[in-house]
Amino acid sequence: MARRAPRFTVDGMNLSRISLVAAVLSAAFWAAKATAIGLAGGLGRSSLEDPLFLAGLGFHVVAVVTLVLWWTRRRHPAVRALSLVGGIAVAVAVTAAFETLLGLVKPADAGWVWGEINLWVLATVLLALTWRADRGAHAAARPAPHLAAALR
């Protein structure tokens, strides 16, 4: 009897799932940070701001790295390494560009919320990208219904 290849591989579905979970955790930590700021009455008044930001940032980096690795899963390792460096550089550049754009439209009497919008938008974009990747990985792992019947 022929042995079948494992259905769930590190290069396929698990990377997309890790990316999605990391993106959800990033958004959750940054939402908790915003809640802590709001409850404390503004920026710099809560001792939880920094740890929550760093936890969210860590999960954000994990999500970006695993998403790039998932996108390049069928490529040569050198291409994957270069894509990883490029992906991180693009993420930093997009963050800086978005921060600059927000600075152009920010009102003069902006509250603490304006300082947090960039995190919320970046977390939402990353959630959408990772959700799409994970959904695609799961769809690719399931055979089409007519093929599943034929394989039985």
Q: What is the pLDDT of residue 99?
A: 86
Alpha helices, DSSP H, located in the chain: 15-40, 49-71, 77-105, 112-141, 145-151
- Examine the pLDDT at 67 and tell me if it is beyond 80: yes
- What's the whole-model pTM score? 0.76
Sign, CA torsion 12/15/18/23: negative
Hey, is 48 helix, strand or coil? Answer: coil
CA R_g for the chain: 20
| Domains of the chain, residue spans | 10-143
User: Each residue of 78-97: pLDDT tens digit?
Assistant: 999 999 999 889 888 988 99
Q: At what angle do helices 15-40 and 49-71 cross, to 10 degrees?
A: 160
- Kindly report the average pLDDT of the chain as a whole number: 82
Read off the tokens for 69. Answer: 């690795």
Sign, CA torsion 85/89/94/95: positive
Read off the tokens for 63. Answer: 């999500």
Which is more confidently placed, 25 or 119? 25
- Examine the pLDDT at 150 and tell me if it is beyond 70: no
Closest residue by Cα to residue 69 from 125, 141, 13? 13
